[in-house]
């Protein structure tokens, strides 16, 4: 009799536990799904605090090496998307001829697969410092830009400015091989070849004339402007 009562009590207790367990499972299964937007709203204050803290650490310009490692190295370490690899002097030689100013203008505007400023938030001075770091590791000897000072003017020089800065020293009539500015007879055979051919020759260098007339930081458009200026003077 005792065994029967004990068995009955155990069965009742187990049944109760089963009901509780099933009720809990049912309740969990029917709990409303977590609201993603609500969850995001709850973490916003934390995210804001973290961003504010990070912002306070940015009080000075990044060095060229720092910006290179953070942004530029992603492509220039491996040469992805046609980017010249750091240290590859052969690949960098024609780019170095553009000078720091030319490379800076190209980097600011973006070129081929590279977006403007390499996709970074760098200011012009930081960008120039990164170019100096990268180019100097690849055969250049550019000077480090001073902190807080724009490394180079991003405004293109006029043809007249380029001529006065570089071309005039030979095209003033003192160099026999260089046609004097304004001398229509001397310029006639050159004009007949067209601007494009002369621009190409001026960029690469021709005869005694060094690449870009010796003005290493002259950009392609500036060289063209200088050629057109001398062309017009000979008309």
- Please indicate, yes or no, whether residues 126 and 74 belong to a single structural domain of this protein: yes
pLDDT in tens, 169-211: 899 888 878 899 999 898 888 888 888 888 888 888 888 888 8
Task: State the total domains in the chain.
Answer: 2
Residue 149 to residue 128: CA distance in whole angstroms: 10
Tell me the average pLDDT across 152-167: 78
The helix/strand count (H/E) of the chain reads as: 12, 0
Helix, strand, or coil (residue 38): helix
Q: Which CATH number goes with the domain that contains 198?
A: 1.10.760.10
* Domain limits for position 88: 64-136
- Please indicate, yes or no, whether residues 224 and 183 belong to a single structural domain of this protein: yes
The b/e string for 126-160 (b: 16+ C-beta within 10 A; e otherwise) is bbbbbbbbbbbbbebebeebeeeeebbeeeebebe
- Please indicate, yes or no, whether residues 69 and 107 belong to a single structural domain of this protein: yes
Q: Is residue 212 part of a domain?
A: yes
Mark which of 89, 105, 136 sits at the end of a domain.
136
Residue 120 to residue 216: CA distance in whole angstroms: 27
Which range is least confidently modeled, 26-35, 152-161, 209-218? Answer: 26-35
Q: Is residue 22 part of a domain?
A: no
What's the confidence (pLDDT) of residue 20?
40
Tell me the average pLDDT across 32-39: 46
Average pLDDT, rounded, for the chain = 75
Residues in the chain: 235
- Please indicate, yes or no, whether residues 75 and 132 belong to a single structural domain of this protein: yes
Distances (CA, A) of 19 to 9, 13, 25, 32: 16, 10, 10, 22
Q: Is residue 57 part of a domain?
A: no
- Please indicate, yes or no, whether residues 179 and 211 belong to a single structural domain of this protein: yes
- Please indicate, yes or no, whether residues 227 and 169 belong to a single structural domain of this protein: yes
pLDDT in tens, 68-104: 999 999 999 999 989 999 999 999 999 998 888 889 8
Angle between the N-to-C axes of helices 124-136 and 99-109, in degrees from 0 to 180, rounded to the nearest 10: 120
- Please indicate, yes or no, whether residues 174 and 214 belong to a single structural domain of this protein: yes
């Amino acid at each position: 009799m005792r065994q029967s009562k004990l068995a009955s009590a155990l069965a009742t207790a187990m049944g109760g536990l089963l009901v509780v367990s099933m009720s809990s499972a049912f309740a969990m299964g029917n709990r409303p799904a977590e609201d993603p937007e609500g969850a995001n709203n709850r973490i916003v204050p934390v995210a804001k605090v973290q961003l504010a803290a990070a912002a306070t650490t940015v009080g000075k310009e990044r060095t060229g090496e720092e910006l290179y490692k953070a942004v530029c190295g992603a492509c220039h370490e491996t040469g992805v998307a046609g980017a010249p690899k750091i240290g590859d002097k052969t690949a960098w030689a024609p780019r170095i001829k553009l000078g720091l100013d030319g490379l800076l203008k190209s980097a600011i505007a973006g070129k081929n697969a590279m977006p403007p400023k390499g996709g970074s938030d760098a200011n012009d001075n930081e960008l120039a410092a990164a170019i100096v770091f990268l180019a100097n590791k690849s055969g250049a000897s550019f000077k480090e830009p001073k902190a807080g000072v724009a490394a180079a003017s991003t405004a293109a020089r006029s043809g007249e400015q380029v001529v006065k800065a570089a071309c005039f020293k030979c095209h003033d009539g003192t160099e026999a091989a260089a046609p004097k500015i304004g001398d229509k007879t001397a310029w006639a055979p050159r004009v007949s070849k067209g601007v494009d051919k002369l621009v190409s020759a001026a960029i690469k260098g021709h005869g005694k004339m060094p690449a870009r007339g010796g003005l290493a930081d002259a950009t392609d458009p500036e060289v063209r402007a200088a050629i057109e200026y001398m062309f017009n003077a000979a008309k």
